[in-house]
Amino acid sequence: MKRILPCSLITLLLMTYTPIASADWWNDVKNNRVTSVTKAIAEGQDPNAFNQEGHTAIIYAAREQSKKSYMALVHNTKVDVNLANRYDETPLMYAAIMGDMDFAKALLNRGARVNKLGWTPLHYAAVKGKTEMVNYLLSQGALPNAPAPDGSSPLYSAVQFGSTATIKALLKGGADPYAINQAGKSAMDLAKEKKMSSVIKLFEQKH
């Protein structure tokens, strides 16, 4: 006798099913074959499918530094610019950590969210000292004291990197050097540990 699946189970399977993209698709994305990438989407390829590493095409392109591909994908309306990979990283977080202003602006023009729970694009920009990106994200409403999963602020990340310019940008944007993380440590505490005298003076001016 042929077994019939319950309707609710069929619905669940459809909701969790993600089409598997071919190896050719991922190779085209990696190698900036924009014409092939665009054609594949037009013919039904899901640009929001995950690869075996858990990345969408736009994030995979960013990781591979395939700028032509990720810029083509960001302008394609079928691409979900807020879809995170399996590590909860969004395309804007990759734009931030790379310091790619063109990519970041294109993402925000498509409706990318500048704030999110956990690690944020501002954390990613700060931890690599991308000062221009930090200023841009702040101008777009990024929360200067957003807590990471461990409670650390973007300013704490900036102190870890050691960029005075980035630290100044965050302070100007409203970052609190005395905000503590879950370990009870603030950006000021970290600056003292690292013996960053000029940064300590900047923080003291905010007290």
Query: What's the pTM value of the predicted model, to 2 decimals?
Result: 0.88
Domain boundaries, the chain: 21-87, 114-207
The mean per-residue pLDDT over the stretch 81-108 comes to: 98
Residue in the structure block whose two tokens are 């973007």? 154
Predicted confidence at residue 19, as pLDDT, reads 46
pLDDT-based confidence at residue 206 (cuts at 50, 70, 90): confident
Superfamily assignment of 114-207 in CATH?
Ankyrin repeat-containing domain (1.25.40.20)
The mean per-residue pLDDT over the stretch 32-58 comes to: 97
Sign of CA dihedral 119, 124, 128, 133: negative
In the CATH scheme, what is the code of domain 21-87? 1.25.40.20
Predicted confidence at residue 138, as pLDDT, reads 98
Among 128, 201, 103, 187, residue whose Cα is nearest residue 152? 187
Residues of the chain above pLDDT 70, percent: 90
CA distance 40 to 46: 9
Contact predicate 144/154, CB 8 Å? yes
**What average pLDDT is seen over the chain?**
91
Give alpha helix (H) positions in the chain: 7-16, 23-30, 34-42, 57-63, 67-74, 91-98, 101-109, 121-127, 131-139, 154-161, 164-172, 187-193, 197-204
The mean per-residue pLDDT over the stretch 70-99 comes to: 98
Is the pLDDT score of 89 beyond 80? yes
Identical fold, 21-87 and 114-207: yes
CA distance 94 to 159: 20
The pLDDT tens digits of the residues spanning 143-194 come to: 999 999 999 999 999 999 999 999 999 999 999 999 999 999 999 999 999 9
CA distance 126 to 137: 11
Residues of the chain above pLDDT 90, percent: 87
